[in-house]
Amino acid sequence: MKRKARGTYTRAQLEQHTELSLHLQRTNARASHLLLRLARLRPGNPHFKSLCAELASVAELLTLDTSFCEGIANNHALQPFQRIVLTLHTTCTFCEENPVLNSSKKHDKTFGSLTIAPTWAVQLTSLTWLMTRIRQDIFGNSPSPPPEMKKFIRCLNGLYTAIQRQRRHLARIGTQKRPEMAVRFDDSEVCGRCGRRYEP
């Protein structure tokens, strides 16, 4: 059973996943364009085979980029934060006058969760609908397509597999739970940053 993507990720991982997801969406748009061009051709057209070959390459690229996204989702840097406590406290006069000397450098890395654009799922739904329509237009209700259409069938199968793999990845990311937030007030007599006592 695959582990769900509920971890916390570094800034580099988040940026890489965002870049890959944008590239996937651009490639999905390219697949839609090729499908629309195929819909205007008949199987006997000389351009039909070349478009099928290009669409097959696009499907392979989609599968590859989705694999990279899954790899990032599986390699989260930390265990997920279940609870985040925000502590509010005042600052002593010394820290206010010397902000650079007392600035905290412990959190120099930004951590977060993977996010997805809402349009991504809509794009996959549109692609699936378009593939179904083209399949129906070309084959109709025939249970046995002609032998010369085998490459086209493999092409559609490859693209459909790539789309379904993206759907599974989006579903995994969608299961992430937001951590519980809590706020507490620090009423101690010493500064929370430097440890000096507050001046009266």
The DSSP result for 122-189, as a single string, is: HHHHHHHHHHHHHHHHHHTT-SS--GGGHHHHHHHHHHHHHHHHHHHHHHHHHTPPPPEEEEEE---S
Q: For residue 105, is pLDDT > 80? A: no
Rg (CA), the chain: 26
Residue 155 lies in a domain: yes
- Say if CB 39 and CB 181 are below 8 A apart: no
Residue 66 lies in a domain: yes
Phi-psi region of 195 (alpha: psi -120 to 50; beta: other; left: phi over 0): left
CA distance 157 to 153: 6
CA distance 107 to 8: 14
pTM of the full structure: 0.67
* Intra-chain end-to-end CA distance of the chain, in Å: 60
Token pair, residue 41, equals: 């051709």
- List, for residues 40-98, the tens digit of each pLDDT value: 888 788 888 899 999 999 999 999 999 999 998 888 654 555 666 666 666 677 777 77
Residue 164 lies in a domain: yes
The predicted structure's pLDDT at residue 32: 92
Q: For residue 3, is pLDDT > 60? A: no
Domain count, the chain: 1
Residue 169 lies in a domain: yes
- List, for residues 140-189, the tens digit of each pLDDT value: 766 776 777 888 888 999 999 999 999 999 988 876 555 566 666 666 77
Residue 98 lies in a domain: no
Taking CA atoms, 73 is separated from 85, 111, 198, in Å, by 25, 14, 46
Range of the domain at 21: 9-80+120-177
The predicted structure's pLDDT at residue 146: 72
Sequential DSSP letters for 16-44: HHHHHHHHHHHHHHHHHHHHHHHHTS-TT
